[in-house]
């Protein structure tokens, strides 16, 4: 049976100063990606990746093209090696690199989309400020009940269903604060997140139609390989439907837990995080059954690529 490989592309929260530098120095294709990013964004995004400062790198209009550039540079290194994934997925922002991996988008178009996405989300975060918090130790049903009870007439929602008991909530500051207190009364943990906006909820609603309209100038192709989408937790092949899903992703929860379970059910055993840090690798470890035979790799530099390529084809 052929090896089923999943490429996982990280999103916001995986950034660090210096990310992508080794890729730039080791792979000519990576250099092209970073040059293309700077040209499309009309800003020195690559310099922010390599040199910071972290304050600039954390701003969503900088961070979105920066993370995407590193993800795409790592993907380019993998593609040059000849390895092809069975499925590509991304976490929130990471979906744009996954679309490139699956053959839906060209790299330049993905960068154009994340530039626009970052600008729109930044605008909405200034007009409709909010916050986010990670809830640890409660199942999704309990968190959804807390959200329903705490929101009242305000905006509060589940943003990310990351693992069985790691869930992120998002919304206006007051209802998030109420939900945090309710979580603590349940004996669980709620950790405020350092974010510049309340992503994946109705506070971003003002960006959806404009972003969907912007997509009309970007060609989407049917995926050449399998891909699961955050907003639905399922696969999609129709280009226009994919555009709708990617626009609605701005206000929809990330169904990461469902996506990983779906990949495991389809026989994926090799997971490769393609991009900075190991956030998604850690989430996969918590989702896959303890007795599950899986292998985890991370490729964001030449050493990570060599380790992945040197793997044995069987367990």
Q: Is there a contact between 263 and 228 (Cβ–Cβ < 8 Å)?
A: yes
Q: Say if residue 49 is preceded by a cis peptide, omega within 30 of 0.
A: no
To the query of whether residue 265 is one of the catalytic residues in this protein, the response is no
User: Which one from 14, 46, 88, 92 is the annotated catalytic residue?
Assistant: 92
Distance (Å, rounded) from C-alpha 137 to C-alpha 146?
13
Phi, psi of 112 (to 5 degrees): -65, -40
Nearest to 155 by CA among 114, 192, 197: 197
Nearest to 280 by CA among 259, 303, 265, 302: 259
Token pair for 91: 């976490």
Q: Give counts: helices (H), strands (E), the chain.
A: 14, 9
Q: Is 200 marked active-site?
A: yes
What secondary structure, in 3-state letters, does 230-280 show?
A: CCCCCECCCHHHHHHHHHHHHHCCECHHHHHHHHHHCCCCEEEEECCCCHH
Q: Angle at which helices 28-41 and 60-81 pack, to 10 degrees?
A: 150
Please give the Cα distance from 46 to 219 (Å, whole number): 25
φ/ψ (deg, to 5) at 88: -125, 135
Torsion of CA 119, 123, 126, 131, to 10 degrees: -60
End-to-end CA distance of the chain: 12
Token pair belonging to 138: 């409660």
Edge-to-edge strands of the sheet including 156-163? 156-163, 166-171, 131-136, 189-192
Under a CB-based contact definition with an 8 Å cutoff, are residues 59 and 122 in contact? yes
Catalytic residues: 92, 200
């Amino acid at each position: 049976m052929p090896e089923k490989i999943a490429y996982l592309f990280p999103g916001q929260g995986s950034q660090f100063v210096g990310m992508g530098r080794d890729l730039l120095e080791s792979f000519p294709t990576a250099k092209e990606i970073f040059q293309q990013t700077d040209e499309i964004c009309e800003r020195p995004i690559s310099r922010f990746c390599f040199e910071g400062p972290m304050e600039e790198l954390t701003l969503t209009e900088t961070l979105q093209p920066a993370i995407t550039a590193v993800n795409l540079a790592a993907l380019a290194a993998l593609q040059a090696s000849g390895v092809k994934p069975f499925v590509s997925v991304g976490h929130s922002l990471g979906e744009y690199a996954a679309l490139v991996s699956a053959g839906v988008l060209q790299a330049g178009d993905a960068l154009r989309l994340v530039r626009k996405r970052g600008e729109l989300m930044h605008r909405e975060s200034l007009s409709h400020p909010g916050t986010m918090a990670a809830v640890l130790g409660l199942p999704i049903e309990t968190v959804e009940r807390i959200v329903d009870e705490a929101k009242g007439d305000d905006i509060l929602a589940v943003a990310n269903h990351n693992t069985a008991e790691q869930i992120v909530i998002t919304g206006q500051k007051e209802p998030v604060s109420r939900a945090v207190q309710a979580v603590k009364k349940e004996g669980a943990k709620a950790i405020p997140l350092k974010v510049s906006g309340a992503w994946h909820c109705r506070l971003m609603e003002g960006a959806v139609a404009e972003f969907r309209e912007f997509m009309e100038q970007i060609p989407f192709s049917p995926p050449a390989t399998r891909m699961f989408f955050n907003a639905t937790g399922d696969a999609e092949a129709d280009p226009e439907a994919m555009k709708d899903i990617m626009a609605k992703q701005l206000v929809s929860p990330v169904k990461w837990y469902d996506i990983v379970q779906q990949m495991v059910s389809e026989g994926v055993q090799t997971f490769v995080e393609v991009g900075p840090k190991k956030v998604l690798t850690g989430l996969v470890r918590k989702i896959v059954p303890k007795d599950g035979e899986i292998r985890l790799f991370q490729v964001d530099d030449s050493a990570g690529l060599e380790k992945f390529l040197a793997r044995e084809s069987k367990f």
